[in-house]
Amino acid sequence: RRENKRRAEKVEAAEPRNKLPSPASLLPTDPALYSGSFPFYGRPSELGCFSLDAQRQYHGDAQALRYYSPPPTNDQGPHFDLRDGYPDRYQPRDEEVQEGLDHLLRWLLDHRGKLEGGPGWLAGAIVTWRGHLTKLLTTPYEQQEGWQLAASRFQGTLYLSEVETPAARAQRLARPPLLRELMYMGYKFEQYMCADKPGSSPDPSGEVNTNVAFCSVLRSRLGNHRLLFSGEVDCTDPRAPSTQPPACYVELKTSKEMHRPGHWRSFYRHKLLKWWAQSFLLGVPNVVAGFRNPEGFVCSLKTFPTMEMFEYVRNDRDGWNPSVCMNFCAAFLSFAQNTVVQDDPRLVHLFSWEPGSPVTVSKHRDAPYAFLPTWYMEAMTQ
Ligand code: 0WD
Ligand code: CA
């Protein structure tokens, strides 16, 4: 490890100011390179939470947490119209606003004095969104979408914040109407399955506002990397065997109704990988899927326990392997730790990846890549 660090420093010294395209600054992503035994991953423990309201304002409490409230199982099953309310009762979040790590940093600022392990713990940790880690986990198997992660070291801590790639931005701006409606349908499903209070029933008559979010903040460890991350949680199950978060949390998903074994096979290979990575990281034990028919109705539900998802592809030559995902993520985190050596929040190492290529690094100063807000740096320096 020390050897890697020395190598990274040497590369930095030898290369011109902005780019480091030398072999030492590349990280390969081929699955075959990461199939060892499963690395250590600590059971994620919740440190706290926060909520974002209908105006996307931060609150340091659980006001946006909803309660899992599936339909009664005695009758013929659900008949949820996911297109109901579109577009008239839809308030989508403004995606032009790139929030970076801001909400998570606000939580961290409010709780930095109370972190278990003291201030030294944070100095040795990696801070990021769960969604960014999900993208790392699935990278060895991803064949369509690349990513960019900006990294800065500040007071020892390594911060990782995603940057929207030019391709992703172009796709978002040209998003076809059918895809917009499909996104709405995912949120509408949550509304059919969640109640605002424990024991009450869902109310699908209201608006769908995607500014609203409940986020859990957790700590864990992958190999020797301490992690502090946050992820959006759909709801908590008041009847879960364990009422202790994250074991009481439930992730909700929608997917196309499937009718042929080939459809299921492809679902296990692609979608279940993403569902597994996202929920495993946060310690969410169950994903509840609503299957929608071509008319946009959910008429069947299925619960997928996170820890059983791998079984669907264990004997599939073209399946995914949790060890590969976790080993690659650990390797990327080591790579980032060894590359971002200078403690300077104005300095950004941009890690870029496109399917079929290794991860590359470039170096930048200040705008537009620097992402730690002034209010955060000033408050942390006092
Ligand atoms: O500003 C950015 N570049 C991003 C911000 C990128 C990714 C996430 N975020 C923020 C969002 O504001 C959200 O509050 O992070 C929070 C969620 O973080 P996460 O849990 O780390 O993200 P992820 O696991 O990718 O997504 C969880 C859920 C999604 O559910 P599904 O079932 O579709 O995976 O968070 C929602 C979405 O419901 N979500 C978002 N909501 C608003 N804006 C976004 C987003 N950009 N991304 C995911
Ligand atoms: Ca969801």
CA distances from 300 to 71, 79, 147, 184, 262 (A): 11, 8, 34, 19, 19
Geometric angle at alpha carbon 144, from 211 and 356, rounded to 5°: 135
Residue whose token pair is 């995902």: 325
Q: How far is the CA of 365 from the centre of ligand 1 (A)?
A: 27
233 Cα to the center of ligand 2, angstroms: 7
Q: Give the ipTM of the model, two decimals please.
A: 0.95
Question: What is the predicted pLDDT for the residue at 216?
Answer: 99
Distance 6 CA to ligand 1 centre (A): 36
Provide the pairing of β-strand 249-256 with 286-292: parallel
> What ligand 1 atom has the least distance to the C-alpha of 132?
21
d(CA 49, CA 58): 11
Contact 138, 329 (CB under 8 A): no
Which is it for the CA torsion 91, 97, 101, 103, positive or negative? negative
What tens digit of pLDDT does each residue of 203-231 get?
A: 999 999 999 999 999 999 999 999 999 99
Task: Return phi, psi of residue 278, to 5°.
Answer: -65, -45
Evaluate if residue 284 carries a pLDDT over 80: yes
Distance (Å) from CA 131 to ligand 1 centroid: 7
SS3 235: strand
* Burial class of residue 164, CB neighbours in 10 A (0-12, 13-18, 19+): middle
Work out the angle at residue 188's Cα, subtended by the Cα atoms of residues 280 and 210, and round it to the nearest 5 degrees.
75
- Tell me how far the alpha carbon of residue 172 lies from the centroid of ligand 2, in angstroms: 19
Arithmetic mean of pLDDT, 59-71:
98
Instruction: Indicate the pTM of the whole model.
Output: 0.94
The per-residue pLDDT for 118 is 80
Alpha helices (H) in the chain, listed in sequence order? 2-14, 102-111, 119-123, 130-138, 166-173, 177-193, 261-266, 272-282, 322-339, 374-381
Query: Which residue of 105, 209, 232, 369 sits with most ligand 1 atoms within 8 Å of its CB, as the best mutation to test the pocket?
Result: 232
Ligand 1 binding site (Cβ under 6 Å of any ligand atom): 93, 98-99, 129-131, 134, 162, 186, 210, 213, 215, 231-232, 253, 278
Atom of ligand 1 nearest to the CA of 104: 15
Residue of the CA atom closest to atom 24 of ligand 1: 131
Q: What is the mean pLDDT of residues 347-373?
A: 98
* Farthest CA pair distance, the chain: 70
Residue 2 has pLDDT above 90, yes or no: no
Q: Annotate 234-261 with b (16+ C-beta within 10 A) or e (fewer).
A: bbbbeebeeeebbbbbbbbbbbeeeeee
238: three-class secondary structure by DSSP: coil
> What pLDDT shows up at residue 75?
74
Residue 167 alpha carbon to ligand 2 centre in Å: 24
Which one of the ligands is nearest to 97 CA? Answer: 1
Mean pLDDT of all residues in 352-377: 98
Specify the residue with its C-alpha closest to ligand 1, atom 26: 131
Tokens found for residue 72: 């009664």
Rounded Cα distance between 301 and 311, Å, is 19
Confidence (pLDDT) at 24: 62
* Stretch 112-123: mean pLDDT: 91
Q: What is the distance in A from the centroid of ligand 2 to the CA of 182?
A: 13
Ligand 2 mean position to 253 CA, how many Å?
Answer: 5
- CA dist 246 and 217 (Å) reads 10
Average pLDDT, the chain: 94
DSSP 137-206: HHGGG--S--EEEEEEEETTEEEEEEE--HHHHHHHHT--HHHHHHHHHHHHHHHHHEESSTTS---TTS
Nearest to 185 by CA among 271, 297, 77, 65: 297
For residue 6, the model assigns a pLDDT of 39
Instruction: State the Cα–Cα distance between residues 159 and 377, nearest whole angstrom.
Output: 12
Gap between the Cα atoms of 230 and 344, Å rounded: 23
**Nearest-CA residue for atom 20 of ligand 1:** 231
Of 20-24, 25-29, 106-110, least confident by mean pLDDT is: 20-24
> Which of 63-77, 135-149, 210-224 is predicted with the least confidence, judged by mean pLDDT?
63-77
- Residue having the nearest C-alpha atom to atom 45 of ligand 1: 95
Q: Which residue has the tokens 């979010």?
A: 213
Mean of the pLDDT values across residues 91-119?
95
Kindly give the number of the ligand 1 atom that is closest to the alpha carbon of 229: 21
Q: Any idea what the Cα angle at residue 189 is, between residues 183 and 195, rounded to 5°?
A: 135
If one compares 119 and 121, the residue with the highest pLDDT of the two is 121
Which is the closest atom of ligand 1 to the Cα of 252?
Answer: 32
Tell me what the mean pLDDT of segment 147-171 comes to. Answer: 98
Per-residue pLDDT at 10: 34
Tell me how far the alpha carbon of residue 279 lies from the centroid of ligand 2, in angstroms: 10
Instruction: Tell me if residue 289 falls in helix, strand or coil.
Output: strand
Rounded-to-integer distance, Cα 353 and Cα 333, Å: 14
Nearest atom of ligand 1 to the alpha carbon of 164: 3
pLDDT at 25: 84
- Ligand 1 atom index nearest CA of 130: 21
What is the spatial distance between Cα 255 and Cα 182, in angstroms, rounded to a whole number? 10
Give the nearest ligand 1 atom to 97 CA. Answer: 1
Statement: residue 165 has pLDDT above 50 = yes
pLDDT digits (tens, 9 = 90+) for 177-202: 999 999 999 999 999 999 999 999 99
Q: Write out pLDDT tens, residues 264-275.
A: 999 999 999 999
